[in-house]
Amino acid sequence: MQATMQIAQGNMAGIIAGTERPLALEQVFADHRELVFRAAYRITGNASDAEDVLQVVFLRLLRQEQTPEITYLRAYLHRAAVNAALDLLRLRKDAQSVSLEEEAGSVEVTAAGGQEASELRDWLRQALARINPRWAEMFVLRFVEGYSNSEIARMMDTSAGVVAVLLHRTRALLKKDYIAVTQGRR
């Protein structure tokens, strides 16, 4: 717990330079892996991808030569997970393939509402991968994770007003995209 407190207070450089770094990072991993996994899973919708994101986030933290000053460790890791998950979606958006598990899962969906919800989640993931990464991150933090505008502003080092404006623009952009997609089906 003490290692986590030191990291949360921005004193990670001393831990990294010394022999305590693996232990400190191990403690941070133990304390925050569920948070990172859940954030990644909500965006990717896939446990395997969420595990990949979990690994990427902590490997990046381990490999950093100079550790940034981390004031809010939980927020830092959550934001890193969101960014890594969005990066993963962007990388895969061109190589769209359907796994057998997903195919079997879609056959098992019997309620029409369940199928529509699944299609809506898929569309949202793809749409978020296409828009400005900063906007997508704010959208996910606000509407998927439930953070307030002021919390997002603190996490992203900006003002709550900027967050509100960008969220409004993102919603308008997503609405326009959704209308275009749904009218194309008719």
| Residue 157 belongs to domain with CATH number | 1.10.10.10
**DSSP secondary structure of 162-174:** HHHHHHHHHHHHH
Same domain membership, residue 90 and residue 115: no
CB 50 within 8 A of CB 8: no
Same domain membership, residue 2 and residue 86: yes
Containing structural domain, residue 34: 1-94
In the numeric block, which tokens belong to residue 102? 């997903």
Same domain membership, residue 139 and residue 86: no
Same domain membership, residue 63 and residue 23: yes
Question: pLDDT value at position 91?
Answer: 81
In a domain, 63, yes or no: yes
Low-confidence ranges of the chain (pLDDT < 50): 1-19, 94, 97-101, 103-110
Question: pLDDT value at position 139?
Answer: 92
CB 3 within 8 A of CB 24: yes
Same domain membership, residue 131 and residue 172: yes
CA dist list (Å): 175 to 41, 97, 124: 23, 26, 10
| pTM exceeding the 0.75 threshold for the entire prediction | no
Question: d(Cα 116, Cα 179) in Å, to the nearest integer?
Answer: 15
Same domain membership, residue 118 and residue 64: no
Same domain membership, residue 180 and residue 140: yes
Same domain membership, residue 84 and residue 127: no
In a domain, 139, yes or no: yes
Same domain membership, residue 181 and residue 146: yes
Same domain membership, residue 172 and residue 126: yes
Same domain membership, residue 6 and residue 90: yes
Question: pLDDT value at position 122?
Answer: 84
Same domain membership, residue 181 and residue 135: yes
In a domain, 100, yes or no: no
